[in-house]
Amino acid sequence: MNVLTVTHNSGFFSCCCVRLESIVNFYNKNKKLPDKVDSTQQFARYKTDKNIDYTPLFFKTLDTTVPYQSDIIISHDNLEFQFSNYNLINFDKLLPLFKKYFTVSDDIENIVNKLKNKYNLDYDNTCAVLYRGNDKNRETKMPMYEVYIEKAKQIQHSNPNIKFLVQTDVTQFLNAFIKQFPDAIYFSEMPTIHESDESVHKIISIDKRKDAAMTYLSAIINVSKCKYLITHTGNCSLFTVLFRGNKTNVYQNFTKSIYNVPIDKIDRTWTWV
């Protein structure tokens, strides 16, 4: 049996991103998929028992076949996948593999529906705004809040009845957006912190992090289903677009930043792509 073991640990979608990249690299190298992907050691910051595989809480592994055709190129500009231009994703090649390993579990689907019903979400008339800040600033340059707000106003100008759904971990961003769009929806289940270099997970007790991660994933699935998406560059945004399955009506704030590049060397230029 060919077992692919993935051990990377960090934030939730960082774990997901490395898991996906590892599967793609195995596929390209061996011209087939592994018999099993073992992620038991992943998602450690959400566990009370490090020996339990939490992956099935989040995702199914579908009993589907993905025949080898040719290498899947997941980044066209020599950047980490999460920092790439999502317009260049080859969805036709990548999605069959992605759906096999990252179709959400029944438990997540139930939470997705509970959130949808609680907040009366109308995906076809909603613009989602995703702003993952705080420690993300160590990796990439986040634009000023006004950049997001201006893009939202442009969409509203073309769609006067559009509703906004905000998903963020930054209290100041949430407040700034709601000041401009008082009717904006946000998930009260998702905590925010005042802008810092820390991750929001640190304010959640270890015994509650599993449920928090499940709710977080469910919130992102709801975000991915909205008609429009305003987002940035990073693993959370990448997976939102992959769950969406296309780049239609997605406005990605793109900056060519590379993880582990010294902060004063990061390319701070950005554009909407």
Q: What is the pTM of this model?
A: 0.91
Indicate if the pLDDT at residue 257 is higher than 60: no
Please give the residue that has the higher pLDDT: either 110 or 259: 110
Which is more confidently placed, 176 or 270? 176
Q: State the residue for tokens 């998903």.
A: 167
Per-position b or e across 249-264, b if 16+ CB within 10 A of its CB: ebbbbbbbbeeeeeee
What local confidence, expressed as pLDDT, does residue 263 receive?
A: 47
* Confidence at 132, pLDDT banded by 50, 70, 90: confident
> Do residues 104 and 58 touch, judged by C-beta distance below 8 A?
yes
Mean pLDDT of the chain: 89
Which tens digits make up the pLDDT trace of 160-169?
999 999 999 8
Number of DSSP helices (H) and strands (E) in the chain, helices first = 8, 10
* pLDDT tens digits, 61-84: 999 999 888 899 887 666 678 878
Q: 149, 180, 183, 190: which is closest to 165 by C-alpha?
A: 183
- The amino acid that residue 249 corresponds to is N
Residue 258 has pLDDT above 60, yes or no: no
DSSP state of 193: B
DSSP string for residues in 123-161: GGGEEEEEE--GGGGGTS-PPPHHHHHHHHHHHHHH-TT
Which domains can be identified in the chain, with CATH numbers? Answer: 3-104 (no CATH), 110-272 (3.40.50.11350)
- 136 pLDDT above the threshold of 90: no
Tens digits of residue pLDDT in 4-34: 999 999 999 999 999 999 999 999 999 999 9
